[in-house]
Amino acid sequence: MNIFGIGLPEMGVIFVVALLIFGPKKLPEIGRSLGKTLRSFQEASNEFQSEFKREAEQLEQVVKTTAELEPKQIEAVQSEHDTAKSSPTS
């Protein structure tokens, strides 16, 4: 068993030290708090991944749509962009 690079003997030492520092009554409360914290980090990570995938799919659709445009349409869009870019702003 290897969690975060920590083996079973190291986890045992950490548990014994925590038991000595916090006592047997406080340890379950600390464990629950740690579990809730890890769960919230996992949920945030999953939310970030889903948002990233959603944005990547939207970008893929834009690229696909742009690739499907005929060359004349692309030239028209580019000329509009160049015209807007070269026009003076007040």
CA-derived radius of gyration, the chain: 28
Q: Domain extents for the chain?
A: 8-85
Label residue 73 by pLDDT band (50, 70, 90): confident
Is residue 25 classed as helix, strand or coil in its secondary structure? coil
pLDDT at 88: 62
Predicted confidence (pLDDT) at residue 47 exceeds the cutoff of 90: yes
**Token pair of 26 as six digits:** 């406080």
Give percent helix, percent strand, percent coil of the chain, each to the nearest 5. Answer: 80, 0, 15
What percentage of the chain reaches a pLDDT higher than 90?
22
pLDDT value of residue 72: 66
DSSP H or E segment with residue 19: helix 8-22
The band of 2, judged by pLDDT with boundaries at 50, 70 and 90, is low
